[in-house]
Structure 1
Amino acid sequence: MSQTRYDAAVEHTLMAIEDAVDNCAWDIDFERNGAVLTLTLEDNGSQVIISRQSASCELWVAAKSGGYHLAFAPAGWTCASTGENLPALLDRVLSDQQGEPVSLALSL
């Protein structure tokens, strides 16, 4: 994947996550600082951090349950260790940290 295509895919993805958080039923705040998007669950203050990893052309997700490396494939961002796509992974880690089912209804 070219750097230009990777950068465009990451930017599209981060904007889609921001939109999904804005429209979800949960009280989740987000803050974007350059290539890092931090999601904060307001009920308990726990965070999920999504970051661009340009050198490896990956997107990394850091959560209480661990760190996840996602590569961009024709089917979208896929986690190397779990096989989950990004929307499923985010819903799972946010649900784990919230203690209740969370769905961002993220569409990529």
Structure 2
Amino acid sequence: MNESEYNEQLDELMYAIEDAIEDNELDIDYETANGILTLTCENGTQVILSRQTAMLQLWVAAKSGGFHLEYDEEAEKWMCESNGEELFVMLNRCLSEQSGDEITLDI
């Protein structure tokens, strides 16, 4: 994946996450600025997704830790380097833990 494809992939991903929050009527605020998507739960805790263009990675910061994800072109999914967790499984887990509610982003 080159840098242009990477940026296009992440633009689509971040729009999909925002749409899933809206479509599922979740009580999560979101803000995108400078390639960073900040998801804020009702209790004020945040999950932050940030682009790491130089490494073609997506980093996720949550109360449970920081995670580096790489795009698996064969599986067509963002996967965590350290634990093998797929991005949407991770987001649902982190948002559920932080909000205290069962969160399912249907993407």
Q: Partner amino acid for 2:3?
A: Q
Q: What is the total number of aligned residue pairs between the two structures?
A: 105
Q: What is residue 30 of structure 2 aligned with on the other side?
A: 30
2:98 matches 1:94: no
Q: What is residue 78 of structure 1 aligned with on the other side?
A: 79
Q: Which runs of 5+ in 2 are unaligned?
A: none
Q: Partner amino acid for 2:26?
A: W
Q: Partner amino acid for 1:50?
A: L
**Aligned counterparts, 1:46-85, within 5 A:** 46-74=45-73, 75=75, 76-85=77-86
Shift of 1:100: 2.5
Q: Normalising by structure 1, what TM-score? A: 0.92
SS for the counterpart of 2:60 is strand
Structure 1 runs (4+) deviating above 3 angstroms are none
CA shift digits 1:41-78 (9 cap, x unpaired) = 11x11100001100110001100000011101122100
Calculate the aligned-residue CA RMSD, in Å. Answer: 1.0
Write the distance in 1 (CA, Å) between the matches of 2:83 and 2:7: 24
Q: What is residue 15 of structure 2 aligned with on the other side?
A: 15
Shift of 1:21: 1.1
Using the aligned pairs only, state the percent identity: 48
Q: What is residue 40 of structure 1 aligned with on the other side?
A: 40
SS for the counterpart of 1:19 is helix
Q: Normalising by structure 2, what TM-score? A: 0.93
